[in-house]
Structure 1
């Protein structure tokens, strides 16, 4: 179980880091090259995209570093809960835009984040 939680946590951190590209690539370029699934960036200002990207970087760090460094490891499930809320917001945004076909990855990541939060708060917590 511990290994599965680490694998899922690493996958979530990687997904979050990859998705921070919205901070560095102009949103027009993302929308043009990403197809229908990336058109959502045009609904947000560049500042809002930077805030979302910053939250994703912090989430990736919060999923891995507290446990690896053994400094406040309780932050891992707290961060996983916040990541679940982030992806719930992403799924809500896709529903509002009528993008039912592109909501599946967000729901999968949401489920993975809930799994990590449950596992680290419960049966495989770092505290004991």
Structure 2
């Protein structure tokens, strides 16, 4: 189970570090082609989501790696589930039902990380 957690956590961490980093440093115009929803969301909220994604990526990896507060990995994965629930809601409110596939995959992957993280407690 530990190896499975590290695989899932690493995949999520890489994705969220990249996606969150883009939200933190890029302008609305640069984000628009990949993330059409940024046109209706204030940029401070986009930046906040990006910061939370980067911190969550670190939270999936660093606490279990160091052994300091490993429960933070579970909290980070729960946070990612909540981010994806919000993402699905935004896409559905915009009538983008075909856009939720990635959100569903990330939500399920984060839920698997929660399950795997709680099995080694």
* Structure 2 residue runs without a partner (length 5+): none
- What is the aligned counterpart of 1:52 among 49, 53, 75? 49
TM-score, length basis structure 1 = 0.88
Counterparts of 1:8-27 in structure 2 under 5 Å?
8-20=8-20, 21-27=22-28
Task: Write the distance in 2 (CA, Å) between the matches of 1:30 and 1:9.
Answer: 25
Task: Write the distance in 2 (CA, Å) between the matches of 1:3 and 1:97.
Answer: 39
1:85 aligns with 82
TM-score, length basis structure 2 = 0.93
Aligned-residue Cα RMSD (Å) equals 1.1
Deviation at 1:29, TM superposition (A): 2.3
Which segment drifts farther, 77-86 or 102-111?
77-86
3-state SS, counterpart of residue 87 of structure 1 = helix
3-state SS, counterpart of residue 71 of structure 1 = coil
Deviation at 1:66, TM superposition (A): 0.2
1:95 aligns with 92
